[in-house]
């Protein structure tokens, strides 16, 4: 029934102007203003997009809401850090990242960061 539907995802933020600046200028994504209700959308590769909507009582997600596959996590972390992105450094007993916030202890190489609304995003290494 829905297999041919062009599904898309969405998430909330508390300030769409800050989100538009972060996703557009810092991350370098194409951001579009949508016609209804102060929505913005992130145009991703191909026809994929994600809706970002304002929510006055926004609570940041406690899980990763968006993963960006990249060829080289360390290089991407360095570039985004230079643009002001702060990566999360985990130092828990069973879960540690290095000083840059990169996890390399099993599974794919990955690093997490937050958007201005506190939502968790990641860059994850995907070799072509």
Higher-pLDDT residue of 38 and 76 is 76
Q: What is the mean pLDDT of residues 39-48?
A: 88
Checking DSSP bridges between strand 110-114 and strand 102-103, what pairing results, if any?
Answer: antiparallel
Q: Which residues pair with 96 in a beta bridge?
A: 91
Minimal CA–CA distance to 54: which of 18, 12, 9, 8?
12
Checking if the pLDDT of 21 tops 80, the result is: yes
pTM of the entire predicted model: 0.91
**For the chain, percent of residues with pLDDT exceeding 70:** 98
Q: What is the mean pLDDT of residues 20-32?
A: 95
Q: What is the mean pLDDT of residues 47-68?
A: 93
pLDDT (0 to 100) of residue 22: 97
Structure tokens, 94: 């069973």
pLDDT (0 to 100) of residue 13: 96
pLDDT (0 to 100) of residue 107: 85
């Amino acid at each position: 029934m829905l297999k041919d539907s062009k599904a898309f995802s969405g998430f909330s933020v508390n300030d769409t102007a800050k989100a538009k600046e972060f996703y557009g200028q810092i991350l370098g994504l194409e951001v579009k203003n949508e016609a209804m209700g102060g929505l913005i959308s992130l145009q991703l590769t191909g026809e994929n997009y994600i809706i970002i909507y304002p929510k006055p009582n926004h609570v940041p997600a406690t899980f990763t809401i968006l993963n960006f596959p990249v060829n080289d996590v360390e290089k991407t972390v360095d570039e985004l850090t230079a643009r002001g992105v702060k990566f999360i450094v985990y130092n828990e007993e069973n879960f540690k990242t290095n000083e840059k916030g990169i996890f390399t202890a099993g599974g794919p190489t990955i690093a997490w960061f937050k958007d201005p609304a506190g939502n968790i995003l990641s860059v994850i290494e995907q070799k072509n």
